[in-house]
Amino acid sequence: MNFGIMTFKSYFVGLALALPLFAASAPNPDFSLPAPRFCPELPQNLTLTSDAKLPNPFKFAASSAPIHTKADWSCRREEINELFQRYELGTLPPKPEAATGTINGNTLTVDIIHANKSISFNVTMTLPKNGTAPFPAVIGVGGISIPIPPGVATLVFNNNQIALQNDATSRGIGDFYTLFGANATASSMTAWAWAIGRIIDVLENMPEETTKIDLSRLGVTGCSRNGKGALVAGAFESRIALTIPQESGSGGEGCWRISDWMLANGTVTQTASEIVQENVWFSETFALYANDVDVLPFDHHMLAGLVAPRALFVIDNTGIDWLGPESNFGCMKTANKIFQALGVPDHMGFSGVGNLDHCAFPASQQPDLDAFFNKFFFGQKTNTSIIETDGPNDLGFVDSDWIDWEVPQLA
Ligand SMILES: *[C@@H]1O[C@H](CO)[C@@H](O)[C@H](O)[C@H]1NC(C)=O
Ligand SMILES: *[C@@H]1O[C@H](CO)[C@@H](O)[C@H](O)[C@H]1NC(C)=O
Ligand SMILES: *[C@@H]1O[C@H](CO)[C@@H](O)[C@H](O)[C@H]1NC(C)=O
Ligand SMILES: *[C@@H]1O[C@H](CO)[C@@H](O)[C@H](O)[C@H]1NC(C)=O
Ligand SMILES: *[C@@H]1O[C@H](CO)[C@@H](O)[C@H](O)[C@H]1NC(C)=O
Ligand SMILES: *[C@@H]1O[C@H](CO)[C@@H](O)[C@H](O)[C@H]1NC(C)=O
Ligand SMILES: *[C@@H]1O[C@H](CO)[C@@H](O)[C@H](O)[C@H]1NC(C)=O
């Protein structure tokens, strides 16, 4: 059974029903794609071929056929989603049999039942002190380390309780694995994305007068390892309108191939080979490819591309080599080409600033962050065409070293 495809299709059914509401009440730009139909099937025995450049997002892995239309992209998006689950992140399960929520003070309790097992976890809800409900809300993966504007609620959950991430011995530990078994292929990041889906489910199932949350204006954020998690959640969970990973580095905003190249060129930076030994953010299957990332039929420009055409603002710290600043900038600049192809380049931005502690947020990035919140939560016409770093020469990233494909205008 292919869970990835099921989740994706059920979203479009949901979106079709919800569309008139979006149009009437939300300032959100249209973040729909055409429903995926007549998609080429991805063979189980897909032949992986080595490609030292960043793989072409605009060509099916199954058939090598080019992508010409937004409808093609819907199919390709579904294929990329499946590729990430298959080779890197493990299987994202579909909705469980039941997910119910209760709110007590500032605690939202999420109760889940699946195959006669149950789990329960808490989310700390903080509503704005003033302003008018329903409020847009930012989901915090393990916490929030960016400034949240007035008028925006926060929903913070303990992702370590869902799937532990102490070190390489953490695999299969946490509420998610209580439900699906310690041998579930899902990595910790996939487990967190699944849990975020359940938080949204229970909010959907409660009256808006009770939750005071506007589900058409949901964001997600997290920093460092939890920033990688925020990007994965934004990629997999299409009900999130604004994804803001902060200093997510290698395994998040970085591309595996560029990080390997940086290390080979003498910068001590995190690579796939290191990351699969350090922790359980990726599936056990991914370890088979970590020393030969050129055979992966994707890189993280395509993970970020799964967010499109929904909004994505990537915050980076150019002062920490371990994060892979050149990889991060190059990877996300390349990801923006997917947004360009969909006609919404300004739905995705990147800002890299150095000289700050890891996960500190510098005042110099505040205007860019405000521009994203104001456009995608409050419907203002701000300038979100931001792909920039404080480093010289784009930190040494040269498009032609990494990209051997053109950007189509998808009709
Ligand atoms: C993959 O499997 C299909 C269906 O079983 C088969 O027709 C095809 O030859 C296989 N391809 C490779 C490269 O093994
Ligand atoms: C759940 O429990 C019921 C009653 O004990 C049993 O009949 C059923 O097979 C169980 N379902 C699963 C999925 O284990
Ligand atoms: C959730 O919070 C409530 C208090 O509001 C507490 O009684 C309960 O034990 C918490 N549940 C979990 C799973 O932490
Ligand atoms: C909310 O109220 C506080 C205190 O009255 C005020 O300082 C602040 O500007 C208000 N914020 C908004 C968004 O209205
Ligand atoms: C998990 O996999 C291990 C190794 O293959 C096996 O020994 C164990 O029985 C499996 N556990 C479950 C719950 O399936
Ligand atoms: C938008 O902001 C970017 C980054 O600051 C800047 O380069 C660009 O010129 C701005 N565009 C407009 C139309 O103001
Ligand atoms: C590669 O390493 C050399 C020598 O340290 C350095 O001068 C150069 O800037 C590096 N190239 C890039 C693109 O980082």
Q: At a CB cut-off of 8 Å and minimum separation 6, what does 132 contact? A: none
Whole-number Å distance between alpha carbons of 256 and 51: 12
Q: What is the DSSP letter of 69?
A: S
What is the enclosing helix (H) or strand (E) of 218?
strand 213-223
Contact 59, 67 (CB under 8 A): yes
For residue 104, what are the β-bridge partners? 107
Residues of the chain with pLDDT under 50: 1-29
Give the start-to-end residue ranges of the domains of the chain.
8-94+131-160+187-402
3-state secondary structure string across 374-396? HHHCCCCCCCCCCEEECCHHHHH
CA of 282 to the centre of ligand 5 (A): 19
- Residue (of 92, 279, 313) closest to 198 by Cα position: 92
H/E run at residue 311: strand 311-316
Minimum-distance ligand 1 atom for the alpha carbon of 45: 1
Compute CA distances 137 → 224, 239, 354, whole Å: 21, 12, 28
Residue of 139, 159, 145 lying closest to 239 (CA atoms) = 139
Exposure on the CB side of residue 186, measured as CA atoms within 13 A: 32
The continuous run of DSSP H or E covering 219 comes out as strand 213-223
Contact between residue 120 and residue 138 where contact means Cβ atoms under 8 Å apart: no
Q: Which residue, judged by its Cα, is nearest atom 10 of ligand 2?
A: 116
Q: Which residues form the catalytic set?
A: 224, 358
> For 8-94+131-160+187-402, which CATH superfamily applies?
Alpha/Beta hydrolase fold, catalytic domain (3.40.50.1820)
Ligand nearest to the CA of 117: 2
**What is the CB-side half-sphere exposure of residue 158 using CA atoms within 13 A?**
11
What angle is formed at CA 279 by the lines to CA 275 and CA 284, rounded to 5 degrees?
A: 85
Rounded Cα distance between 245 and 147, Å, is: 13
Question: Side-chain half-sphere of 313: how many Cα atoms within 13 Å?
Answer: 25
**Residue 385 CB less than 6 A away from ligand 6:** yes
Query: φ, ψ for residue 8 (rounded to 5)?
Result: -65, -45
Q: Is any atom of ligand 1 closer than 6 Å to the C-beta of 49?
A: no
- Of 270, 251, 250, 247, residue with least CA distance to 361: 247
Report the C-alpha gap between 194 and 215 in whole angstroms. 17
User: If we measure between CA atoms, which residue out of 319, 277, 86 comes closest to residue 186?
Assistant: 86
- What 3-state class would DSSP assign to 286? helix
Take atom 6 of ligand 7 and give the residue whose Cα is closest.
Answer: 265
